[in-house]
Structure 1
Amino acid sequence: MQDLIGLTPVTTPENEERLAALAREIWEGYWPPLIGEDQTRYMVENFQSLDAIRRDIAEHAYEYWFVCAADDGRIVGYTGGRVEPETNRFFISKIYLKPEERGKHFASAIVRFYTELCRSRGLDAMYLTVNKGNVLGIRAYEGNGFSTIDAVETDIGSGFVMDDYIMEKRVG
């Protein structure tokens, strides 16, 4: 079966700017009902902004990709993460799709991409965090072989907390 997506690495300052704009668009369109307007703004500024993206790449070896539909090349979302040598896993920090692109199996295609990436790099597993209220995300990850291995509440500053499940998929 032909894959549904193509992935374009984010490797230029111009693409980093496009990524930050896309992140803001997706976050402002999805997260306020789940975590509120204030926390959405805070998280965009601290974790999805141009400065945050550049910091992640420079200081934490993050890799980012635009997710493009294979049929016409339109950008449907973005993804990113980094290898954790100490655990021999890939941390998937971000899988975000535009609202009109959800439910089209793009997330499954992204997981297949990461499965192959992990195998090619000799990693044992991949993992991610997902908001406990993100029922659609949890269902998608479970359907793609992830299982919940922990639950965490992380203080991210300014009185905000991320209330997440940690989900992992072994790739061996």
Structure 2
Amino acid sequence: MKFIKATENDIPSIQDLARRSWENAYAEILSNEQMEYMLNTMYSKEEISNHLQQPNYHYFLIQDESQNSFEGFIGYENHYEEKTTKLHRIYLVPESKGKGFGKGALEFLKENVERAGDERIILNVNKYNSAKNFYESQGYRVYDDGVFNIGNNFVMDDFLMEFLIHK
């Protein structure tokens, strides 16, 4: 498994990976209208480009070196809050699940968070997304929940999770 820092040239790959993973992860959770709205908003070329220009926001493509294929991506922001990194997105295509890419990505994230001097990782996960169980198996815990208006009469109904890095 290899992590490749994303650039502007990788935006189409990120968009493709997002769509492929979302169609699987959210098919039973979100309406098609909400999924399209979120993909078109959160994964527009302009939005990703804006993230890539911010010094504390990082995107990495997750590559399966044996297949020479991209299995997913991770996007996170160091210093989102005091001593806290926010994991904004981590998505894997359906055929790569269960192969250790998620665990590897969270380990990669933890190492980069420590290197940046942060001590906590936070994330939002949809209350009906089975990924919550995966995060809990990796040491994350729910510390709150919330319903967030994302526009166009849509909301995100999420658990807020955290992982504390003990130095």
TM-score (norm 2): 0.92
> Which sections of structure 1, spanning at least 5 residues, go unmatched?
none
Equivalent residue for 1:160? Answer: 154
Out of 59-68 and 43-52, give the one that drifted further: 59-68
Letter of the aligned partner of 2:104 in structure 1? A
Equivalent residue for 1:34? Answer: 29
Residue 140 (structure 1) aligned with residue 159 (structure 2): no
Q: 3-state SS of the aligned residue for 2:134?
A: helix
Residue 8 (structure 1) aligned with residue 4 (structure 2): yes
Equivalent residue for 1:149? Answer: 143
Alpha-carbon contact 1:149-1:167 (below 8 Å) kept: yes
Q: 1:87 aligns with which of 82, 91, 115?
A: 82
Rounded Cα–Cα distance in structure 2 between residues aligned with 1:94 and 1:140: 14
The count of residues paired between Structure 1 and Structure 2 equals 166
Residue 46 (structure 1) aligned with residue 41 (structure 2): yes
Alpha-carbon contact 1:23-1:49 (below 8 Å) kept: no
Equivalent residue for 1:67? Answer: 62
Alpha-carbon contact 2:84-2:119 (below 8 Å) kept: yes
- Name the % identity: 27
Q: 3-state SS of the aligned residue for 1:34?
A: coil
> Which sections of structure 2, spanning at least 5 residues, go unmatched?
none
String of CA shifts for 1:24-44, please: whole Å, max 9, x gaps. 232234323211101100100
How far residue 20 of structure 1 moved from its aligned partner, in angstroms, is 1.8
TM-score (norm 1): 0.89
User: Structure 1 pair 144/70, CA: closer, same or farther in 2 (3 Å)?
Assistant: farther
Alpha-carbon contact 1:20-1:53 (below 8 Å) kept: no
Residue 98 (structure 1) aligned with residue 93 (structure 2): yes
How far residue 68 of structure 1 moved from its aligned partner, in angstroms, is 1.0
Rounded Cα–Cα distance in structure 2 between residues aligned with 1:32 and 1:51: 25
Letter of the aligned partner of 1:170 in structure 2? L
Equivalent residue for 1:169? Answer: 163
